[in-house]
Amino acid sequence: AKVAVLASGRGSNLAALLDAHARGELPVEFVLVGSDKAAAPALRLAEAAGIPTLALDPRSYPDRRAFDFDLFARIAASGAEWLVLAGFMRVLDGEALQPWVGRIINIHPSLLPKYRGLHTHRRALEACDAEHGASVHFVTAELDGGPVIAQACLSIEAGDDEERLAQRLLPLEHRLLPEVLRLLTEGRLRWDGQAPRFDGQLL
Ligand code: GRF
The three-class DSSP label of residue 31 is strand
Domain that holds residue 73: 2-189
**Domain presence at residue 201:** no
**Domain presence at residue 200:** no
**Domain presence at residue 91:** yes
Q: In angstroms, what is the span from residue 20 Cα to ligand 1's centroid? A: 17
CA atoms within 13 A on the CB side of 127: 13
Extract the runs of DSSP E, i.e. beta strands, from the chain: 2-6, 29-35, 53-55, 82-85, 104-108, 131-138, 148-155, 189-191, 196-198
Confirm or reject: Cβ of 12 under 6 Å from ligand 1: yes
**Domain presence at residue 195:** no
Taking the model in full, what pTM does it have? Answer: 0.95
**Domain presence at residue 92:** yes
Cα dihedral value 38, 81, 191, 117, nearest 10: 0
The DSSP secondary-structure symbol of 36 reads: S
**Domain presence at residue 197:** no
Q: What is the pLDDT along the chain (203 residues), one digit of tens a residue?
A: 999 999 999 999 999 999 999 999 999 999 999 999 999 999 999 999 999 999 999 999 999 999 999 999 999 999 999 999 999 999 999 999 999 999 999 999 999 999 999 999 999 999 999 999 999 999 999 999 999 999 999 999 999 999 999 999 999 999 999 999 999 999 988 887 666 666 554 44
Mutate to test the pocket of ligand 1, among 173, 174, 177 (most ligand atoms within 8 A of CB): 173
Name which of 82, 92, 87 is nearest 107 in CA terms. Answer: 87
Q: How many domains does the chain have?
A: 1
**Domain presence at residue 95:** yes
Number of H helices, E strands in the chain: 6, 9
Structure confidence at residue 97 (pLDDT): 94
| Alpha carbon nearest to ligand 1 atom 6, residue | 87
**Domain presence at residue 199:** no
Structure confidence at residue 109 (pLDDT): 98
- The interface predicted TM-score of the complex, written ipTM, equals 0.98
Catalytic, 108? Answer yes
Name which of 168, 203, 177 is nearest 11 in CA terms. Answer: 177
Structure confidence at residue 197 (pLDDT): 65
- Could you tell me the CATH number of the domain that includes residue 185? 3.40.50.170
User: Can you name the residues that pair with 104 across neighbouring β-strands?
Assistant: 83
Choice among 21, 108, 121, 174 that is catalytic: 108
Contact 183, 190 (CB under 8 A): no
